[in-house]
Structure 1
């Protein structure tokens, strides 16, 4: 049973955006104004719903609903895209009985294609009618595109002070994403909900900190989408209030949920068969550690070697070398599955490749790099890269 935070309900319908009979339009609706925060793509071509949602959150820091469609990205659609996005939220506001400014929009699909407003007009009242009769899983399926499986994660918090007994408080996170994945953030949409009471400013802090150690640390293919969005909503319906002094309790739960969803996105990378956990230590500073981790994570040669179960650690060494980080090559160490492969400027003698064979067959493949240059550390999750990724993306619009 998926624990739903108090104060939230879900809706989902088939609007025909995908030219199929699958659910493709969903909503999360709060029974009253919820504190709201968002983190968005850093792509220089943000989609219309990103701009509309940013504007709405800057004005109030609250929301009554999140509305997400799949099958139409409404990105690179110019002024028409902005008009269509606001009109679609006006339709949804009228159907739900809330102001259009209180609805946060998200879209996912093919870039550069205008929205079909006739389908929006038909679907808005149906979506509103479905709210309360649909499950969190229905909503999750409605926002999927090339995802192989729905992505949900949850956590429970106790001991928070409040109007009643102080708990429990629930956190539920839902996400979609499988391809065009590279921070900041990834080609992904996510809604995280809690029934704790949190002021918008504090909620923004919690979300940013959680995203930085979760969604901003996954790589599938090195591409950052135009629509990436993560929302965090707090209904306050549990009667437990989060203040700055007890922020860490809720922040830990939100981070746990975001990290679980981030792992699922890496696991579900288009055509992926493995998750690669890349840990860099001993860097001059955190920035250098991040450079090395991300360079390895985005290397097609490393990713295809992992896909082929080939322990070709020379490709890792090569990526470290062109990462731009500062280090002495003679001080670098490389491991896979905690098996030493390279140390003191030369290969480790022995049966390393033979020992690595069982590790390369695992779902999770671990790569460790110690630069021997300082105390900087960083970790990234990546997926491998195989034939299916090419097929999916070669045929995406055809």
Structure 2
């Protein structure tokens, strides 16, 4: 998508010479859908981005201004004033600011201001990989997903970039995620498919049960493609977007701080999908389950405990548990096909699959999480040092 211009630079602060600021400029009349943290302490850039999104000047181009290393959260009125000062000279642009990093510290306006100025001069010269690098904090890897699909002989392009490796427990969006497409679509329909794509991806991952003050997800449609969203192609486009969002979500969990395992938890058979998700997330956030995964200990009793430790009603006689394809519990008793040796084999895998059935309905929910390692504790204990 050549119409999307990328410029990156470094403020030479927390990450030395590494890129830590980015500007992404999109064409006039691009449609932009935003989902943001529901944390009760939203960061200053979240407040400004939400406000500016509702009042975009169609005569101006829109640009995302993103910095890593400082969250500009819990900075009070001064944090908002700092944003106004930093972007006061960008009068010909709709400014959408995003920040990620340490909470409670004010922005260094001189350093970040200069870096944004350099990034603006570099618009069109930086790559998607540069962008992905520039928004990393404790991430170990860049997170980029690219896809193209054909509809009526025409190509529709999708590119997604995200960051996140801790403080991940979304309630609406999660971490920082920016997905771009050249599809023609109305703002109303873009909002709809954005929420649907988030629900089965970013809303279904957890690393540590903590939702950030800065979580933001943007879906941007430039409209440069010859294809518009229609009833005939909506299913294919939504499935493509869901694949992209899910791939980004999986990359986040795989890159979780100190993680050695990706854990997939599927819960089936309850009255609603929300009930299934509640149980799945309770397992995903269980420290005992996560540490068992790290220790490669197939302690299925911890999974059973986490299932029963919710306010969701179910018939315990219908409790079924599988590790991958291995039956552990069937109809509320230990399966005759289960052995510790076979359970250990499942827990030694890089990707652990837990499947639970609690009833006879067709409702289901899947949640991704990681294990909890010694490195996670060390990394977060030393985060500001």
Q: Of 56, 74, 82, which aligns to 2:80?
A: 82
Q: Give the Å deviation of 1:350.
A: 4.4
| Distance in structure 2 (CA, Å) of the matches to 1:307 and 1:121 | 42
Report what 2:40 is aligned to: 44
Does 2:157 match 1:170?
Answer: yes
Name the SS of the counterpart of 2:188 in structure 1: helix
Show CA shifts across 1:62-116 (max 9, x none): 762211100010111111111212332334x25xxx32xx121110001111111
Matched, 1:278 2:276: no
Q: Distance in 2 between matches of 1:246 and 1:90?
A: 42
In 1: Cα distance, 2:101 partner to 2:95 partner = 20
Quote the offset at 1:131 in angstroms: 1.2
Q: What is the 5 A alignment of 1:134-153?
A: 134-153=126-145
| Cα-Cα RMSD | 1.7
Q: Is the 8 A contact 2:21 2:112 kept in 1?
A: no
Matches within 5 A, 1:201-220: 201-220=188-207
Q: Which residue is 2:146 aligned to?
A: 154
Say yes or no: does 1:114 pair with 2:101. Answer: no
The answer to whether residue 294 in structure 2 is matched with residue 307 in structure 1 is yes
Residue 222 of structure 1 corresponds to: 209
The answer for the alignment partner of 1:163 in structure 2 is none
Distance (Å, rounded) in 1 between the aligned partners of 2:43 and 2:201 = 22
Task: Provide the rounded CA distance (Å) in 1 between the counterparts of 2:296 and 2:82.
Answer: 47
Q: Which moved more, 1:293-302 or 1:128-137?
A: 128-137
Task: Work out whether residues 173 and 217 of structure 2, in 8 Å CA contact, stay in contact via their aligned partners in 1.
Answer: no
Per-residue Cα deviation, 1:346-394 (whole angstroms, up to 9, x for no partner): 2223442211222222121000111125333111011111001001100
Aligned residue number for residue 370 of structure 2:
383
Measured in 2, the distance between the counterparts of 1:157 and 1:389 equals 38
Query: Are the structure 2 counterparts of residues 114 and 143 from structure 1 closer, same or farther at C-alpha, using a change threshold of 3 Å?
Result: same
Aligned partner of 2:122 in structure 1 is 130
Q: Tell whether the 8 Å contact from 2:68 to 2:136 is kept in structure 1 after alignment.
A: yes
CA distance in 2, matches of 1:211, 1:287: 15
* Distance change >3 Å, CA 345–CA 19, structure 1 → 2: closer
Distance 2:230 2:77 in 1: 41
1:285, distance to aligned residue in structure 2 (A): 2.0
| Aligned equivalents of 1:214, 1:61: Cα separation in 2 | 31
Deviation at 1:61, TM superposition (A): 9.0
Q: What is the DSSP-based 3-state SS (H/G/I as helix, E as strand, rest coil) of the residue aligned with 1:222?
A: coil
Please say if residues 17 and 70 of structure 1, whose CA atoms lie closer than 8 Å, have aligned partners that are also in contact.
no
**How many equivalent residue pairs?**
383
1:56 aligns with 2:34: no
2:16 paired with 1:24: no
Tell whether the 8 Å contact from 1:29 to 1:66 is kept in structure 2 after alignment.
yes
SS in 1 for 2:102: coil
Distance (whole Å) between structure 2 residues aligned to residue 61 and residue 167 of structure 1: 30
SS of match in other structure, 2:148: strand
Match of 1:334 in 2: 321
